[in-house]
């Protein structure tokens, strides 16, 4: 029983990270029909930035918010400078550009910081929290807290602020948005900025667990894909829920199903994706695309 | 998406009809000239260069297959590395476990991939766009894992070393020269077959499915059959490419067939030019040589250079290298028409 | 006195296909001007041209200021509201969210609440469905929502693209009545593009007839209604 709860908490912690990254993916997909393959690498790069600040002696939370802010700006910059020139090109072209970004970030991170694994500090206490017979990792709880806070803030932003409404409108219907005077290009920049911000938070929360290295996020990206597929690429809320579910399933299957173990944990994500695609491609909460004749 | 009121050029680049059925004489002459030139290269190029070219030819066949699916039929695949792997391992297993000569392994590899591709195509055809990409993506990720799992056949993580193929009939060619001609010949044959396929009814049906699949269906084209068949044929080409690749490299290991291979294939197809036969060749040479070139430019971060190349190519040649050249050619032709 | 909107020898193309071959028309301040024509005549293209959504040649002036080549977002800010063909509703957002978005570009965001209430008075059906997702409304309700959203801008000129499309006669009458009322009471000039000539001529002051990208007739709506050829071809009697 204790193991179960521990695994669930651990799963929720991972799930929060998958949920965040999945949300970032879905946000950009909704606005542009493009899956940003570089989302993971951007998050990884942000985390390395944070590492540099910490190495220079800055306190943790200052670093945290500084990194978040810089990542936000970075996301905006990337959209404006790199993505906008190909905005109107066929989707596959934009995908290739994202792949280009992916390898650039990965390579530069490896170049500047080497491929040696680095530890990344957690702002939360080391010793676990003991409730009865259950030991709960403080970082896990903290990660859940931080990602939840982020997701809630985003929800409030999108649902209850004029800017959030504008962003939603621009993502859903760019042409009508122009007709009410919305500058859709600016909204796209904002969307990328937010996605990068989310990625930075996810990266900083996961680095203490998996340790910092340039390939840190590639596995997590796959879980993010699984989450977004499960929840539905057209539903931000679904993607978030999907993330938490995937996190829990991953941990439980890894613990309780004999032959999976830590090696084939990956396969869980893959099986999930295939399973969902076979049964309901649009995911739990996504809407099936209506084919216009 | 910016307002394009004032920015559309007067002379718009016209996309050449890929199914243009007329055979223009000079085009044939051009192809023959290129082939003739290519046939002379083995006498001037180093062994290593020949090896690189042979591998590029294999990639070109793979890209042709992927292009058939993605360019002409509009089905995105992020998983063709898996079919390449199947072809490669088929050859490796047949050669090393059963002692079969490398030549016979190729049609077998092709056939197996045809079947696997067709079978994969059946459920896959219910998915479109993003979802198909995701499904093929999982295929690509699963492939190395599965290859490592079935150790007794695949040799696990260590892979299989293939024996060296020799030029037949005692021809005065070394291994690299022979493999060059071998892969080139197969490429030519497969491309001609593919080109013929695309020129005819089948080709039109395939493109119709991409452009207006509902209309295509109401015209009596059996959508599921065609889509699965296209998947199958596409996989077959890539499987043959994998077999050739294994023979040329003389080594197969699970980690060489990871997701990055599939991504390279997709990259090659887009950069070379979708819906164009020559695009497969341009793309293949891009993915084979640009990484090496990038390494020359920067030893420290070669992939960063590669990524920059990708982005620049997408800015400068949105329709791929083939599309770009076609555009240049159209412009030249238009100017000639205007002058005359 | 210059007209509110002057269009002179307007040409427009989609890619290589030329759709408008140099049309000219005026929209006077205060009235309802209608552009009639069959399918494919170029009516929708004219409105899209005004909003900067297609490649154009010729001259377009709003309140004397040239608007060729301006981006759609900027033209909206000049006070032109376009209710597009097919309504263009934000189907995943609520009715009220749609309306609030309509006010995005307007100068002076005060009195937003008051304006919302006034709009709900005109379109009583919407008032009862404020929190409903726009995509679940009926065709007629969505058309009302689209027009209401356009009005939230407090535009000087409202461009209406085929509002009758896909609607039954009763709801059509109601919508046209509302448009007529708004034109009179809110001082919003209207450029109405319509296939349904009789409904349009009932509320219009000035009319133009478009055929394959050319203006073939212009005059007062009353004249149009009396004209024999118009009656036979477009009014059905």
Contacts of C69 in chain B (CB under 8 A): 5-6
CB atoms within 10 A of CB B328: 11
Residue A246 lies in a domain: no
> Mind telling me how many Å the CA of A87 is from chain B's nearest CA?
6
DSSP chain C: ---SEEEEEEEEEETTEEEEEEEEEEE-TTSEEEEE--TTSSHHHHHHHHTT-SEEEEEEEETTEE-TT--HHHHHHTTEEEE-TT----TTSBHHHHHHHHTTT-S--TTHHHHHHHHHHHTHHHHTTTTSBGGGS-HHHHHHHHHHHHHHT--SEEEEE-TTTT--HHHHHHHHHHHHHHHHHS--EEEEEES-HHHHHHH-SEEEEEETTEEEEEEEHHHHHH-HHHIIIII--
Task: Return the higher-pLDDT residue of B52 and B332.
Answer: B52
**Do A216 and A113 form a contact (C-beta atoms < 8 A)?**
no
Per-residue pLDDT tens over the stretch C165-192:
888 889 889 899 999 999 988 889 999 9
State the Cα–Cα distance between residues B95 and B102, nearest whole angstrom: 6
Out of 3.40.50.300, 3.40.50.720, 3.90.1150.10, 3.40.50.261, the CATH code matching C5-235 is 3.40.50.300
State the Cα–Cα distance between residues B277 and B54, nearest whole angstrom: 18
Here the tokens at position B198 are 């695309």
> Mind telling me how many Å the CA of A273 is from chain C's nearest CA?
26
Q: Is A180–C102 a contact, with Cβ atoms under 8 angstroms apart? A: yes
State the Cα–Cα distance between residues A24 and A43, nearest whole angstrom: 10
Write the CA distances from A277 to A87, B265, C12, C231, integer angstroms: 28, 23, 44, 57
Q: Is B307–A87 a contact, with Cβ atoms under 8 angstroms apart? A: no
Task: Return the higher-pLDDT residue of B337 and B72.
Answer: B72
pLDDT of residue B209: 81
| C16 close to B (CB below 8 A) | yes
Residue C190 has φ and ψ, to the nearest 5°, of -125, 130
Domain count within chain A: 1
Q: Which residues pair with C27 in a beta bridge?
A: C5
- The residues, ordered by sequence, that sit 6+ positions from B12 with a Cβ below 8 Å of its Cβ are C15, C16
Residue of C nearest to A182 (CA): C73
**Do B253 and B101 form a contact (C-beta atoms < 8 A)?**
no
Write the residue in C15, C16, C54 that is nearest to B5 by C-beta.
C54
Contacts of B4 in chain C (CB under 8 A): 55
Contacts of A237 in chain C (CB under 8 A): none
Does A264 have pLDDT greater than 70? no
Q: Is C55–B12 a contact, with Cβ atoms under 8 angstroms apart? A: no
| C40 close to B (CB below 8 A) | no
Write the CA distances from B174 to A90, B43, B170, B179, integer angstroms: 45, 11, 10, 9
Task: Return the higher-pLDDT residue of C136 and B10.
Answer: C136
Chain B residues whose C-beta is within 8 A of a chain A C-beta are: 1-2, 4, 70, 76, 123, 126-128, 130-131, 133-135, 137-138, 141-142, 145, 214, 263, 266-267, 270-271, 274, 300-304, 306-311, 314-315, 318
**Residues listed for chain B:** 340
Contacts of B12 in chain C (CB under 8 A): 15-16
pLDDT of residue B338: 65
Contacts of C20 in chain B (CB under 8 A): none
pLDDT of residue A157: 93
Which H or E run contains A242?
A: helix A236-256
What chains are in contact with B, requiring at least 3 Cβ pairs below 8 Å?
A, C
Does B90 have pLDDT greater than 80? yes
Contacts of A168 in chain C (CB under 8 A): 92-93
Q: Which residues pair with C220 in a beta bridge?
A: C206
B12 band by pLDDT with thresholds 50, 70 and 90: very low
Write the residue in C15, C16, C52 that is nearest to B3 by C-beta.
C52
| C102 close to A (CB below 8 A) | yes
Q: Is B1–A96 a contact, with Cβ atoms under 8 angstroms apart? A: no
Q: Which residues pair with C191 in a beta bridge?
A: C33, C159
What chains are in contact with C, requiring at least 3 Cβ pairs below 8 Å?
A, B
Instruction: Give the residue numbers spanning the domain of A52.
Output: 2-215
Residue A269 lies in a domain: no
Query: So what's the ipTM on this one?
Result: 0.89
Write the residue in B3, B8, B12 that is nearest to C71 by C-beta.
B3
- The residues, ordered by sequence, that sit 6+ positions from A260 with a Cβ below 8 Å of its Cβ are A253, A254, A267, A268
> Mind telling me how many Å the CA of A163 is from chain C's nearest CA?
10
Write the CA distances from B25 to A201, A244, B28, B29, B220, integer angstroms: 61, 62, 5, 6, 35
B9 band by pLDDT with thresholds 50, 70 and 90: very low
Q: Is A165–C101 a contact, with Cβ atoms under 8 angstroms apart? A: yes
- The residues, ordered by sequence, that sit 6+ positions from C229 with a Cβ below 8 Å of its Cβ are none
Q: Is B12–C16 a contact, with Cβ atoms under 8 angstroms apart? A: yes
pLDDT of residue A292: 46
Q: Is C104–A178 a contact, with Cβ atoms under 8 angstroms apart? A: no
- The residues, ordered by sequence, that sit 6+ positions from A189 with a Cβ below 8 Å of its Cβ are A76, A79, A80
Per-residue pLDDT tens over the stretch B65-81:
999 998 888 788 999 99
pLDDT of residue A260: 57
Contacts of A232 in chain B (CB under 8 A): none
Task: Return the higher-pLDDT residue of B18 and B235.
Answer: B235
Distance of CA B250 to the CA centre of its chain: 20
Q: Is B318–A106 a contact, with Cβ atoms under 8 angstroms apart? A: no
> Mind telling me how many Å the CA of C89 is from chain A's nearest CA?
7
Per-residue pLDDT tens over the stretch B163-186:
887 777 777 778 888 889 999 999
State the Cα–Cα distance between residues A19 and C67, nearest whole angstrom: 46
Among B138-142, B303-307, B315-319, the range scoring the smallest mean pLDDT is B138-142
Per-residue pLDDT tens over the stretch A231-254:
988 888 899 999 999 999 888 887
Whose structure tokens read 């599309």? B323
Q: Is B302–A107 a contact, with Cβ atoms under 8 angstroms apart? A: yes
pLDDT of residue B61: 96
Contacts of A181 in chain C (CB under 8 A): 73, 76-77, 104-105, 153
Whose structure tokens read 């010729």? C58
Per-residue pLDDT tens over the stretch A38-59:
999 999 999 999 999 999 999 9
Chain B residues whose C-beta is within 8 A of a chain C C-beta are: 2-6, 8, 12
pLDDT of residue B107: 93
CA angle at B110 for the pair B28 and B176, rounded to the nearest 5°: 65
Please identify every stretch of chain C with a pLDDT value under 50, giving residue numbers as ranges.
none
Residue A258 lies in a domain: no
Does B339 have pLDDT greater than 70? no
Q: What is the mean pLDDT of residues A28-47?
A: 91
pLDDT of residue A4: 84
Q: Is C51–A179 a contact, with Cβ atoms under 8 angstroms apart? A: yes
Here the tokens at position C86 are 């097919």
Residue of B nearest to A84 (CA): B1
| C48 close to A (CB below 8 A) | no
What chains are in contact with A, requiring at least 3 Cβ pairs below 8 Å?
B, C
Q: Is A86–B314 a contact, with Cβ atoms under 8 angstroms apart? A: yes
- Would you give the DSSP letter of residue B70? I
Per-residue pLDDT tens over the stretch A271-287:
888 888 888 888 888 77
Per-residue pLDDT tens over the stretch A137-180:
888 888 889 999 998 999 999 989 999 999 999 998 999 999 99
pLDDT of residue A289: 60
Whose structure tokens read 């100017």? B335
Write the residue in A89, A100, A282 that is nearest to B307 by C-beta.
A100
Residue B60's nearest CA partner among B300, B321, B254, B255 is B321
- Would you give the DSSP letter of residue B44? T
> Mind telling me how many Å the CA of A15 is from chain B's nearest CA?
20
Q: Is C153–A169 a contact, with Cβ atoms under 8 angstroms apart? A: no
| A139 close to C (CB below 8 A) | no
Contacts of B142 in chain A (CB under 8 A): 267, 270
- Would you give the DSSP letter of residue B163? P
Q: What is the mean pLDDT of residues B235-248?
A: 95
Residue of B nearest to A97 (CA): B311
Contacts of C71 in chain B (CB under 8 A): 2-3
Four-point Cα dihedral B199, B202, B203, B204, nearest 10: 100
Q: Which of C55, C56, C69, C74 to mutate to test the interface with B (most CBs of B within 10 A)?
A: C55
- The residues, ordered by sequence, that sit 6+ positions from B65 with a Cβ below 8 Å of its Cβ are B80, B83, B233, B234, B235, B236, B237, B238, B241
Give the dihedral sign, CA A46/A52/A56/A57.
positive
């Amino acid at each position: 029983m204790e193991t179960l709860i521990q695994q669930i908490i651990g799963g929720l912690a991972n799930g929060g990270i998958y949920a965040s990254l999945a949300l970032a993916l879905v946000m950009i997909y909704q606005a542009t029909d493009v899956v940003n393959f570089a989302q993971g690498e951007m998050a990884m790069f942000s985390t390395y930035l944070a590492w540099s600040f910490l190495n220079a002696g800055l306190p943790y939370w200052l670093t945290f918010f500084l990194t978040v802010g810089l990542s936000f700006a970075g996301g905006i910059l990337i959209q404006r400078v790199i993505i906008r020139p190909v905005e109107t090109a066929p989707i596959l072209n934009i995908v290739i550009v994202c792949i280009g970004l992916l390898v650039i970030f990965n390579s530069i991170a490896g170049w500047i910081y080497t491929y040696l694994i680095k530890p990344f500090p957690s702002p939360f206490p080391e010793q676990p929290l003991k409730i009865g017979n259950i030991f709960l990792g403080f970082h896990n709880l903290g990660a859940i807290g931080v990602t939840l806070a982020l997701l809630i803030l985003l929800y409030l932003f999108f649902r209850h602020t004029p800017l959030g409404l504008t962003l939603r409108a621009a993502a859903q219907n760019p042409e009508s948005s122009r007709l009410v005077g919305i500058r859709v290009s600016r909204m796209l920049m904002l969307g990328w900025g937010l996605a990068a911000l989310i990625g930075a938070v996810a990266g900083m929360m996961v680095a203490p667990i998996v340790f910092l290295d340039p390939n840190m996020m590639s596995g997590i990206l796959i879980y993010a894909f699984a989450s977004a597929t499960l929840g539905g690429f057209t539903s931000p809320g679904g993607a978030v829920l999907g993330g938490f579910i995937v996190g829990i399933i991953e941990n439980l299957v890894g613990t309780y199903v004999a032959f999976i173990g830590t090696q084939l944990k990956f396969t869980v994500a893959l099986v999930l994706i295939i399973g969902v695609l076979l049964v309901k491609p649009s995911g739990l909460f996504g809407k099936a695309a209506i084919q216009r004749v | 998406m910016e307002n394009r009121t004032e920015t559309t050029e007067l002379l718009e680049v016209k996309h050449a009809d890929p199914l243009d059925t007329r055979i223009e004489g000079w085009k044939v002459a051009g192809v023959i000239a290129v082939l003739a030139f290519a046939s002379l290269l083995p006498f001037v190029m180093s062994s290593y260069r020949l090896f690189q070219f042979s591998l590029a030819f294999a990639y070109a066949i793979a890209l042709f297959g992927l292009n058939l699916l993605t360019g002409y039929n509009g089905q995105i695949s992020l998983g063709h590395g898996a079919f390449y792997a199947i072809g490669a391992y088929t050859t490796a297993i047949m050669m090393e476990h059963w002692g079969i000569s490398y030549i016979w392994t190729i049609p077998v590899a092709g056939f197996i991939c045809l079947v696997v591709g067709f079978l994969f195509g059946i459920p896959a055809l219910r998915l479109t766009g993003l979802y198909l990409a995701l499904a093929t993506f999982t295929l690509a990720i699963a492939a190395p894992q599965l290859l490592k799992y079935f150790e007794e056949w695949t040799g696990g993580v260590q892979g299989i070393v293939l024996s060296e193929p020799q030029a037949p009939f005692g021809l005065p060619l070394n291994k690299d020269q022979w493999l060059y001609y071998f892969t080139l010949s197969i490429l030519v044959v497969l491309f001609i077959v593919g080109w013929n396929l695309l020129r005819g009814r089948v080709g039109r049906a395939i493109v119709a499915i991409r452009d207006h699949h509902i209309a295509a269906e109401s015209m009596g084209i059996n959508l599921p059959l065609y889509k699965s068949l296209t998947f199958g044929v596409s996989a077959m080409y890539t499987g043959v490419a994998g077999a050739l690749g294994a023979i040329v490299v003389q080594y197969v290991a699970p980690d060489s067939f990871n997701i990055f291979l599939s991504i390279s294939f997709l990259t090659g197809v887009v950069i070379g030019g979708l819906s164009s036969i020559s695009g497969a060749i341009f793309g293949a040479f891009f993915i084979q040589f640009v990484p090496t070139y990038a390494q020359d430019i920067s030893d420290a971060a070669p992939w960063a250079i590669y990524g920059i190349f990708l982005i620049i190519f997408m800015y400068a040649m949105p329709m791929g290298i083939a599309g770009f050249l076609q555009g240049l050619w159209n412009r030249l032709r238009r100017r000639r028409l205007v002058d005359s | 006195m210059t007209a509110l909107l002057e269009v002179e020898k307007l040409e427009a193309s989609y890619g290589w296909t030329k759709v408008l071959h140099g049309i000219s028309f005026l929209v006077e301040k205060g009235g309802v001007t209608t552009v009639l024509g069959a399918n494919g005549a170029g009516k929708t293209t004219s409105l899209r041209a005004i909003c900067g959504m297609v490649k154009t040649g010729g001259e377009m002036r709003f309140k004397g200021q040239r608007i060729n080549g301006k981006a759609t977002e900027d033209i909206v800010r000049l006070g032109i509201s376009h209710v597009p063909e097919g309504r263009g509703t934000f189907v995943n957002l609520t009715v009220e969210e749609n309306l609030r978005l309509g006010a995005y570009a307007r100068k002076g965001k005060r009195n937003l609440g008051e304006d919302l209430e006034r709009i709900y008075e005109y379109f009583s059906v919407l008032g009862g469905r404020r929190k409903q997702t726009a995509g679940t409304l009926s065709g007629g309700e969505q058309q009302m929502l689209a027009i209401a959203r356009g009005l939230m801008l407090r535009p000087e000129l409202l461009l209406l693209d085929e509002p009758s499309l896909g609607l039954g006669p009763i709801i059509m009458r109601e919508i046209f009545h509302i448009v007529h009322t708004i034109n009179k009471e809110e001082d919003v000039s209207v450029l109405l593009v319509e296939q349904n000539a009789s409904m349009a001529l009932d509320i219009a002051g000035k009319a133009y007839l478009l055929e394959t990208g050319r203006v073939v007739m212009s005059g007062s709506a009353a004249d149009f209604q009396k004209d024999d050829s118009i009656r036979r071809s477009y009014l059905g009697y």
